[in-house]
Chains A and B, each alone.
Chain A
Amino acid sequence: MDLTPTSEHEALREVVAAFVAETTPPHRFAEIFDGGDDPATDPSVWARLAEMGLLGLSVPEDLGGAGAGLVEETILFEELGAGLLPAPVFSTVALCLPLLVAAPDAPDLVPPVVDGSRRYALAATGGHAPSLVGSAEDPVDPGILVAGPAEAPELSGERTWVLDAAGADGLLVPVATPAGPAVYLVDADAATSVTRMSAIDRTQPAFRVQFSRARARLLLAPAIASTALATVRRRTALLASAEAVGISRRMLSTTADYCSTRTQFGRPIATYQGVSHQLADTYIDVELARSLVLWAALEPTDTATLATAVEALPAAVRASERAIQLHGGIGMTWDAVLHRYYKHALLRHALVPRPGLLRAALARTLLDT
């Protein structure tokens, strides 16, 4: 087994980290995230991400991608998580590309996404669904009605938690059909309304999208949609976990710095074991999660990706919560950067079913077969 990053991996990490640091320095967080309606709209950032080839790392070369593996993508997302880059990378790379790559007309659809000229958003969830991507047993959220003739289908209904919908050219809508799940493509301007939700994570805006007899076309028929949606679930679990490692890592370093300089009773608070041991525990969490992410990137099975999410996503929430605790009152302020990471960690945690359900799915494989 060799889990040592190669020099290419290190170089990729440095490039991404430098780009994130340049475009999203923490002292500009308020300006970037609290200003306008949508932080994800700086077109120059998107163009440069595409130019650097970061949108198609794992897309096959004949579809315009780099043909690299998932390991490269986990490096990308760890750095994005550590820096909170406000761009729709996750929704594009983790959520939409697996569906587009699976489509029969992928050669037309995928290259414009990889080169940054077109973008899609996934409209998978509606009503009160607890997570963004479903499970193997429950792959598609109901709530969308398909009507009209087969050659000119029309969608009606509502989706929520459509990440990065503003500025997207099209919406990918998984729908339950009698023959199984299918995925439809709707032009963004065919939606009746796209309104931003007041979601607490402002680093990745979420939208409510309504359709009323919106003209659509069938992107993935049931035969291929099930497989493609399973890929979306695995990639979501894995890449959200990679981001979670980045979040945890940043919460650890920020808090270690703070506790090393903040003094109480005449000495740095990091010299108190009540403080330093919490930081040591976050370090352990980061390294264990990092190991699982590497495993799942090299062997992206249901088992490995679920196991990784079970550990990495709660770890990021825990790391942020410890960070807030160890910063004391400062940790509760809007001005501190911590809440932005915490809220992003909470959103990542909620993209997949809660850990208990993930473990229940794992248990069926481990104990019942």
Chain B
Amino acid sequence: MKLEDDPEIARFRGEVRAWLAEHGDLAPLVAAEPSEDEVARWRAWSRAIAGAGYAGITWPEDAGGRGLTYAHLEAWQSECAGAGLPDHFGLIGMDMAGPTIVDWGTAEQRARFLPGILSAAEIWCQGFSEPGSGSDLAGARTRAVLDGDEWVIDGQKVWSSFAQWADWCILVARTEPDAPKHQGLSVLLVDMSLPGVEVRPLPQITGDPEFNEIFFSGVRIPRASMLGNRGDGWKVALTTLDYERSTHGIALSAHLMAELEGVGRLLRAPRPDGARAADDPDLRDRYTALWVKCHALRFTNARIINQLDRTGRPGPEGTIAKLHWSEVNQQLAALARDVLGLPALVSGRDALDAGHWSYHLLRTRGNTIEAGTSEILRNIIAERVLGLPRAR
């Protein structure tokens, strides 16, 4: 056991740091609602990342990745977050759809889709939640019916981030209406440019249309567009969700440490009268408590990464990473709110730190909802980790 990086990880981290220092000026300033120019810049930044070999770090080499460890991935993500630089634009493809295709895809599917994900040539979104099926994902009602050699899709998905830019959607649809609900689902890979696909932006409480509704009416896709077999949809979707909550959780925690630093700077900054928020006993105590919680998460993540590198797959234990991250991130936002007072309630690029604090305050409310509500994650810990009897 040791706290230091392995020599190989230390070497890799140094290489990443040097690369970011040299190329970081290519990166866009990522705003909550990027303009078209910024998106173009972000795609170019992602191509540069892929060109340098920092996309698909943990993907197998025969999938176009580097075949490196999750410890390498963590080094990349924490260096990006520490330098205040955005990661790859194709977030859903990189962290969720791509790894699921690596695990479940046919040779043809892997060859067709993985290169485009890595290079950001093709952007992905997730079609999982529906208006009538959020936490109860297995109750999804969007249906796909086989008509000759084509699946015909009808239904509605919601809360789809990146759908406004997405070329492809990893979609959970009901293909076996007569089967029990968990066995009636399949996962389809859908071209978002097809007739019958409509994306409508949904403004969030931040005012930004960060996520979308997707409507499918009579969308026809080739029969071979299925990931896994008919009826495997629930298992395929669980793979995606495990990646979302653990490997993606690693990235989120890297950003959390950067956020903690930022709140620490707010506390230490002298106000015009010379006093510091850090001298207020309540704010001081709350900051210290959160500092401890962030470090507890940091070392828990290290253990999850060790586990991933031993077994190669995320387990339900990784659920802690996402659950704890979301709650601590909210508490950090609330602390920043109380440190700043009224200035925390101003939005827009002219506000303090380009509106980061009001945005963070509002956006973090979604952290305990997206990628599995905290309530569902506690169910998962209860049932899949602690082995308690199932409630349903």
Contact = CB atoms under 8 A, between A and B. Distances in A.
Interface of A: 1-6, 9, 71, 252, 256, 259-260, 267-268, 270-273, 276-277, 279-281, 283-284, 287-289, 291-292, 294-295, 298-299, 307, 310-311, 356, 359-360, 362-363, 366-368
B345 interface: no
Given A280-B378, A294-B299, A367-B278, A359 B285 contact: yes
A288 B389 contact: no
Interface string B367-392: 00000000101110111011111110
Given A2-B2, A260-B388, A366 B264 contact: yes
Contact of A288 (B300, B377, B386, B388): B300
A288 B382 contact: no
A256 B389 CA distance: 10
A1 B3 contact: yes
Nearest to B277: A367
B292 interface: yes
B289, B296, B391 pick with most chain A CB within 10 angstroms: B296
Contacts of B300: 287-288, 291
Contact of B378 (A277, A307, A356): A277
Contact of B292 (A9, A270, A277, A307): A307
B281 to A, nearest CB: 8
Contacts of A366: 264, 287-288, 291
Contacts of B388: 256, 259-260, 268, 270-271, 276, 279
Main secondary structure of the interface of A (DSSP, over half): helix
A3 B303 contact: yes
B297 interface: yes
B324 interface: yes
Given A4-B1, A271-B391, A362 B288 contact: yes
Contact of B6 (A2, A299, A311): A2
B223 interface: no
A367 B389 CA distance: 46
Contact of B382 (A3, A280, A356): A280
B144 interface: no
B295 A363 contact: no
B320 interface: yes
B188 interface: no
Given A280-B381, A291-B299, A360 B285 contact: yes
B293 interface: yes
Nearest to B374: A277
8 contacts: A71-B1, A259-B388, A268-B389, A270-B388, A287-B317, A291-B297, A291-B303, A311-B293
A3 B385 contact: no
Contacts of B291: 307, 362, 366
A290 to B, nearest CB: 8
A273 B391 contact: yes
Given A287-B300, A366-B287, A3 B381 contact: no
A277 B375 contact: yes
Contacts of A288: 293, 296-297, 300, 320, 324
B376 to A, nearest CB: 10
A283 B381 contact: yes
Nearest to B291: A366
Given A260-B389, A271-B388, A292 B295 contact: yes
A276 B377 CA distance: 11
Contacts of B324: 284, 288
B382 A270 contact: yes
Interface residues of B, number: 48
A6, A270, A360 pick with most chain B CB within 10 angstroms: A270
Interface in B304-339: 305-307, 310, 317, 320, 323-324
Question: Which are the 7 A-B pairs with shortest beta-carbon distances?
Answer: A291-B299, A276-B382, A288-B296, A280-B381, A280-B378, A270-B388, A367-B278
B349 to A, nearest CB: 30
A367 B297 CA distance: 20
B288 A273 contact: no
A273 B379 CA distance: 8
B187 interface: no
B389 A3 contact: no
A311 B379 CA distance: 24
B270 to A, nearest CB: 13
A14 B375 CA distance: 35
Given A4-B303, A284-B320, 15 more contacts: A2-B2, A3-B302, A271-B390, A277-B382, A280-B378, A281-B378, A287-B300, A288-B297, A291-B303, A292-B292, A298-B2, A299-B3, A311-B296, A359-B289, A366-B288
A311 B288 CA distance: 11
A2 to B, nearest CB: 5
Contacts of A268: 388-389
B92 interface: no
A280 B303 contact: no
B138 interface: no
Contact of B288 (A1, A284, A289, A359): A359
B4 interface: yes
B71 interface: yes
A279 B2 contact: no
B266 to A, nearest CB: 11
Contacts of A277: 375, 378-379, 382
B200 interface: no
Contacts of B307: 4
B318 to A, nearest CB: 11
B278 A368 contact: yes
B309 to A, nearest CB: 9
Given A1-B4, A256-B386, A271-B390, A363 B285 contact: yes
Contact of B287 (A6, A267, A276, A363): A363
Nearest to B388: A270
B267 interface: yes
Nearest to B292: A307
B182 interface: no
Interface in B255-280: 264, 267-268, 278
Contacts of A260: 387-389
A363 B291 CA distance: 9
B1 A276 contact: no
Contact of A363 (B2, B3, B288, B299): B288
A45 B101 CA distance: 57
Contact of B267 (A71, A287, A310, A367): A367
Contacts of B235: none
Contacts of B386: 252, 256, 276, 279-280, 283
A136 to B, nearest CB: 16
Nearest to B71: A1
A62 B60 CA distance: 49
B296 A292 contact: yes
Contacts of A5: 1
A147 to B, nearest CB: 42
